[in-house]
């Protein structure tokens, strides 16, 4: 009987190995372990043996049964994995796609608050006779610094930490780079604004970003003075904030203007009585401006004895933060649509 068991085991293991699909494997199983299977028959005949022989053979038969079952299980899972990957190859669907007829739809695009404000400002200036200019984000040292009266070793270069490219060009640090490019295109008298993205090599925090947005403005004509500058700035702020805003000018140093100013607005949060936003001063620094430095006019091929002008740089991020009470500049480029969708 022992030989018979060994023979069944050897033959069955061979068949299991040879079965190519789950169906034939099941046939093997039935042939051995089924009601009339070869091993089942052997087990049934155990009762006919002598008692001492019965115990030994019973043990042996059970071992054989266990071995066969293990082998069957392994082969089953191997064949079903193969079956699944086969299935995946020839017959797949993307379950992440929306099924037709459901209510989920791809999100529609939404205008970013910076673009929105930029368009608004472009409209305001266009209505005042300004022309819109563009300039490259990757700039030359000439347009970003030298033509703006900031020579190579001037300490004013410390005011703007710069991303340099290996070939000595840079990512523009301010939209003022558009000034001289503009003067090369249009001849005075002119009024231009140049919106765009600018870059600083800075550590980011709630009020500092390495990438932000500005609008540069410049007006060149005969006898332009600080009074003209103040008029246009007040006009702009009235349109943006939908009310008259009190402003003040104080001296500020920017190499491309002379005289240069910081324009402060009366704090819109507290109305000027003092609060944490304005550090109790009642005033918030909003934009640098001034009369175009004669050297900058010369860089643009304009005779400073004949023409004069004003220029300003408006930080769009700061302005939106003021308008909507946003407390962290990093939201703008976070890529979080929940932020963008609020505007």
Partner 1 sequence: MWLSLNILSGMVDLKGVSPEELALKLTMSTAEIDSIEHMNRHLATVISAKVLDVLKHPDADKLTLVDLDTGTGKTRVVCGAPNHKKGDIVALALPGTDFGGGMIIKKSKIRGQDSAGMLCSEKELGFSDDHSGIMVLPPETRLGAPLSELFPEHSDVRLEIDNKSITHRPDLWCHRGFAREIGALLGRPVRDPVDHNLVKEFKSTDNLSVRIENPDAAPRYTGLVMKNVAIKESPAWLKAAVTSIGMRPINNIVDVTNYVMAEIGEPMHAFDRKKLRGSEIIVRMAAQGEPLMTLDGSKYELSAEDIVIADAGGPVALAGVMGGGNSEIEDGTTEIVLEAANFNPVNIRKTAQRYNQRTEAAIRFEKALSPEVTPDALIRCYDLIRQCCPEAEAVTGLVDAYPVKMKEITVKTSTEIGRAHV
Task: Catalog residues that contact partner 1 under the rule CB under 8 A.
Answer: 153, 155-156, 158-159, 223, 225-227, 248, 250-253, 255, 259, 262, 291, 308
Nearer to partner 1, 3 or 158 (CB): 158
Smaller CB separation from partner 1, 267 or 320 = 267
What does the alpha-carbon distance between residue 256 and residue 304 come to, in Å, rounded to a whole number?
13
Q: Which two tokens stand for residue 236?
A: 């702009």
Of residues 159 and 275, the one with the C-beta less far from partner 1: 159
CB of 290 within 8 A of CB of 311?
yes
Could you tell me where the DSSP H helices lie in the chain? 2-18, 22-33, 38-44, 51-90, 113-127, 141-144, 177-185, 226-241, 294-299, 316-324, 337-340
Residues 158, 255: Cα–Cα separation, whole Å: 12
Least distance between partner 1 and beta carbon 153 (Å): 4
Least separation, in Å, of the C-beta of 248 and partner 1? 8
- What gap in Å lies between CA 197 and CA 111, rounded to an integer? 16
Specify the residue, 39 or 170, whose C-beta has the smaller distance to partner 1.
170
CB of 309 to partner 1, least distance (A): 12
| Backbone φ and ψ of 159, nearest 5° | -70, -20
Q: DSSP assignment, residue 292?
A: E
Least spacing, CB of residue 258 vs partner 1, in Å:
9
By beta-carbon proximity to partner 1, the closer residue of 48 and 223 is 223
Nearest to 234 by CA among 308, 134, 128: 128
Q: Residue 227 CB, nearest distance to partner 1 (Å)? A: 7
Buried b (16+ CB within 10 A) or exposed e, 67-88: ebeebbeebbeebeeeeeeeee
**Least distance from C-beta 253 to partner 1, angstroms?**
5
Radius of gyration for the alpha carbons in the chain, expressed in angstroms and rounded:
40
In the complex, the smallest distance separating the C-beta of residue 311 from partner 1, rounded to whole angstroms, is: 14
Q: How far is the CB of 287 from partner 1 (least distance, A)?
A: 15
CB environment 307-340: b (16+ within 10 A), e (fewer)? bbbbbbbbbbbbbbbbeeebeebebbbeeeeebb
Residue 163 or 339: the one with the smaller Cβ distance to partner 1 is 163
Two structure tokens written together for 8:
């069944």
- For 257, the enclosing helix (H) or strand (E) is strand 257-266
Name the helix (H) or strand (E) containing 286. Answer: strand 283-292
Minimum CB separation from partner 1 for residue 119, in Å? 32
Complex with partner 1: residue 213 or 310, whichever CB lies closer = 310
Q: Which is nearer to partner 1, 59 or 154 (CB)?
A: 154
In terms of CB distance, is 254 or 332 closer to partner 1? 254
């Amino acid at each position: 009987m022992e030989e018979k068991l060994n023979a069944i085991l050897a033959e069955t293991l061979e068949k299991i190995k040879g079965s190519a699909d789950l169906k034939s494997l099941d046939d093997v199983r039935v042939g051995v372990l089924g009601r009339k299977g070869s091993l089942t028959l052997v087990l049934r005949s155990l009762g006919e043996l002598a008692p001492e022989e019965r115990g030994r053979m019973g043990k042996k038969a059970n071992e054989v049964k266990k071995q066969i079952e293990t082998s069957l299980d392994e082969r089953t899972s191997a064949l079903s994995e193969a079956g699944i990957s086969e299935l995946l190859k020839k017959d797949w669907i993307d379950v992440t796609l929306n099924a037709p007829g459901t209510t989920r739809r791809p999100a529609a695009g939404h205008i970013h608050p910076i673009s929105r404000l930029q368009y608004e400002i472009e409209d305001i200036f266009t209505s005042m006779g300004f022309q819109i200019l563009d300039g490259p984000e990757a700039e030359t040292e000439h347009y970003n610094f030298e033509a703006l009266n900031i020579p190579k070793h001037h300490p004013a270069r410390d005011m703007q930490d710069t991303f340099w490219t290996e070939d000595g060009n840079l990512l523009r640090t301010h939209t003022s780079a558009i000034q001289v490019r503009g003067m090369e295109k249009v001849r005075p008298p002119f009024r231009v604004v140049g919106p765009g993205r600018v870059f600083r090599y800075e550590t980011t925090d709630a009020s500092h970003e390495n990438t932000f947005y500005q609008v540069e403005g410049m007006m060149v004509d005969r006898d332009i003075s600080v009074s003209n500058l103040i008029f246009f700035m007040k006009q702009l702020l009235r349109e943006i904030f939908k009310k008259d805003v009190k402003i003040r000018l104080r001296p500020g140093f920017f190499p491309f203007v002379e005289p240069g100013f910081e324009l402060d607005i009366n704090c819109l949060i507290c109305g000027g009585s003092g609060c944490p936003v304005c550090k109790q001063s009642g005033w918030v620094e909003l934009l640098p401006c001034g009369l175009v430095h004669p050297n900058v006019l010369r860089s643009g091929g304009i005779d400073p004895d004949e023409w004069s002008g004003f220029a300003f740089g408006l930080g769009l991020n700061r302005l939106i933060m003021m308008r909507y009470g946003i407390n962290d500049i990093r939201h703008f480029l976070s890529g979080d649509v929940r932020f963008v969708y609020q505007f």
